[in-house]
Amino acid sequence: MSTDRGGGRRFAAPEARLGKPVPRNRTVRLAVLGNSVQRAAASGYPSSRSSALKRRIVVGGLVLLSLVLITVSFRSTALDGVQGTAAGILRPFEIAADRVSRPFRDAAGWVHGLVGAKSENEKLKRQIDDLRAQLVLDESALQENVLLRQQLAYKEPPSLVNFERRNAAVLTNPQSAFDESITIAAGTADGVHAGNPVIASSGGLIGTIDRAWKSVARVTLLTDGQSAVTATDLNNPAAVGLIRRGNGSGDALIFDRVPKAPNVEVGNIVITAGSLGKGTLPSMFPRGLQIGTVSSVSNNDIDTFKTIQVDPIVDFSALESVIVLVPKR
Amino acid sequence: MDGVKAALVLFVFGLFQLSVLTEYRQFRTSSIVLVGLLSIALLRGSIFGAIAGFGTGLMLDIATLGTLGVTSLLMTVGGFWIGRYGETTARDRFHAPFVSVAVVTVLYAFGQLFFQFVLGEPAPAGVVTRGLPLALLVNLLLTLPVYALIRRLFPPPELGDRVREVRLLG
């Protein structure tokens, strides 16, 4: 503190403390915060440190790379080898994950099964009695059939005996609501090729091999919108039509293109028709693979064909292993 | 180090998704991988999110033997976008992971549908729309434990570290 000429006191504050001269037209915001408030740079968000340009280059590059991958993968088979090898590398991990989680899923299934166990038990006992009676009739018919075939030297179309079986574990299940494909742990090294039929251990048809790599293959399920198979009613062979995906979101199938004349009833079993001798190309499916049972039949005066709904014999949501049918050479 | 941790976490989530979750039809539309990826992107930013999304998508495309690049593209964009959201407006907001997961779940489902359509595959919009509410519900339920786990593995940077510069707008 010092004294001025008039004898009054004045503060000897240095000029530097007052800061820079403030423009007359300054705003309140400028007055409070200044042009910008700088803080010490430190490590934190890696992306915050990077400039907008770097961010754009990285995301642009990745998007471009994805588009190139889509184009090459969709248009050519150039990446098939790499994809197959990479999928083969992932295979042990997928199998390990499946084995680790299996006991938990089995336990959940066991608890779930307890709910309807009693009623299901009674139903199955009744079914066993019916099937025992049916078995006796079937055995005698089978022996008679074999004898007659031998006597006639009958040449039959391809059946299950003309195929070798390749058992394979399911690696991945369908990945979205509209994805109807699975991957399996068998490939071209096992003789599996595109077009081979795939069945469940119960014998029900699952689908066909869509693409095969060396050690893995992709199976398009019967519930896929692009799958269709010629089928017939086991009880009424005149009822021939196409099995394809139903319109609902579940696994229900449609037995389409069945003329109105043949009598198809609820509960009848639908099987693959095999080669019927009408077309120029043989069917890839042998005759007699089970597809499902008829759940509803309706006739509409306007439609040329019947509307038949089929419940598949296979539970497509719980596939653990499959059998690929490879034609014998 | 964060990169290795993220790769491991997303790999394990991917295996869980491929081998366990999708075995049940009702869980096919939901995705623990997507929830994990978005949580990581939210905590580590846009570039990290985009790279993690690309890698995760590529792994899923390879494992399912699908068309390479489709899932990568969707997850790259999702990871980048949510990472950017995390860098800007979503800081320290409780609802941020839930909002991110809800929005991206819907966009991801329709993005997949769009690519199915563009690539000439069957693209049933009705199936996707019907499955969306359950997918949203499951993904939102998964968000709480998954985000808590990811937050523990990838602790958010301190406020002072995150904020380097405040610039006035206008």
pTM over 0.95: no
Closest residue to B62, CB basis, from A40, A55, A90 = A90
Average pLDDT value over all residues in chain B: 86
Q: Which residues of A touch B87 (CB under 8 A)?
A: 45, 47-48
Closest residue in B to A82 (Cα) is B62
Distance from A157 to chain B by nearest Cα, in Å? 33
pLDDT at A36 over 60: no
CB–CB contact A173 B51 (8 Å): no
Interatomic CA distance for residues B101 and B96, integer angstroms: 9
Give the number of residues written for chain A: 329
Average pLDDT of the residues in A117-134 = 89
Which pLDDT score, from 0 to 100, does residue A325 have?
A: 92
Q: Which residues of B touch A177 (CB under 8 A)?
A: 28-29, 109, 127-128, 130-131, 135
- Environment class of residue A65 by beta-carbon count within 10 Å: exposed (0-12), middle (13-18) or buried (19+)? middle
B47, B92 Cβ separation under 8 angstroms: no
Could you tell me which residues come within 8 angstroms of residue B32 by beta carbon, excluding any fewer than 6 positions away?
B13, B16, B17, B21, B142, B146
CB–CB contact A62 B126 (8 Å): no
Q: Please compute, for residue A81, the number of CA atoms within 13 A of its CA located in the half-sphere on the CB side.
A: 1
Instruction: Give the C-alpha distances (Å, rounded to integers) separating A92 from A52, A192, B18, B60.
Output: 41, 19, 13, 15
Instruction: Tell me if residue A309 falls in helix, strand or coil.
Output: strand
**A105-114, A316-325, B38-47 — which one is most confidently predicted on average?**
B38-47
Q: Which residues of B touch A317 (CB under 8 A)?
A: 23-25
Asked which of A49-53, A177-181, A287-291, B156-160 is least confident by mean pLDDT, the reply is B156-160
Which pLDDT score, from 0 to 100, does residue A249 have?
A: 60
Write out pLDDT tens, residues A6-29. Answer: 444 444 444 445 555 555 555 555
Closest residue in B to A69 (Cα) is B69
**Percent of chain A scored above 90 by pLDDT?**
20
Closest residue to A42, CB basis, from B83, B116, B160 = B160
pLDDT band with cut points at 50, 70 and 90 for residue B156: confident
pLDDT at B166 over 70: no
- The complex scores an ipTM of 0.86
* Ordered structural domains, chain A, with CATH: 163-327 (2.40.10.340)
> Which residue ranges make up each domain of chain B?
2-155
Asked which of A98-112, B4-18, B74-88, B101-115 is least confident by mean pLDDT, the reply is A98-112
Distance from B6 to chain A by nearest Cα, in Å? 14
Query: What are the b/e assignments for A230-253, b being 16+ CB within 10 Å?
Result: bbbbeeeeebbbbbbbbeebebbb
Give the number of residues written for chain B: 170
Closest residue in B to A83 (Cα) is B62
Distance from A106 to chain B by nearest Cα, in Å? 12
Average pLDDT of the residues in A159-167 = 85
Distance from A249 to chain B by nearest Cα, in Å? 6
CB–CB contact A62 B76 (8 Å): yes
Q: Which of B116, B158, B157, B151 is nearest to B35 (CA)?
A: B151
Sign of CA dihedral B18, B24, B28, B31: negative
State both tokens at A63.
């998007």
Interatomic CA distance for residues A62 and B169, integer angstroms: 31
**A177-181, B20-24, B44-48 — which one is most confidently predicted on average?**
B44-48
Interatomic CA distance for residues B18 and B4, integer angstroms: 21
Average pLDDT value over all residues in chain A: 80
Average pLDDT of the residues in B64-71 = 89
Write out pLDDT tens, residues A258-294. Answer: 887 778 888 889 999 887 666 667 788 888 889 999 9
Which pLDDT score, from 0 to 100, does residue A280 have?
A: 65
Token look-up 């039509």 returns: A241
Write out pLDDT tens, residues A47-67. Answer: 555 578 888 899 999 999 999
pLDDT band with cut points at 50, 70 and 90 for residue A46: low
Q: What is the CATH number assigned to the segment(s) B2-155?
A: 1.10.1760
Interatomic CA distance for residues B24 and A317, integer angstroms: 6
CB–CB contact A175 B157 (8 Å): no
Closest residue in A to B124 (Cα) is A178
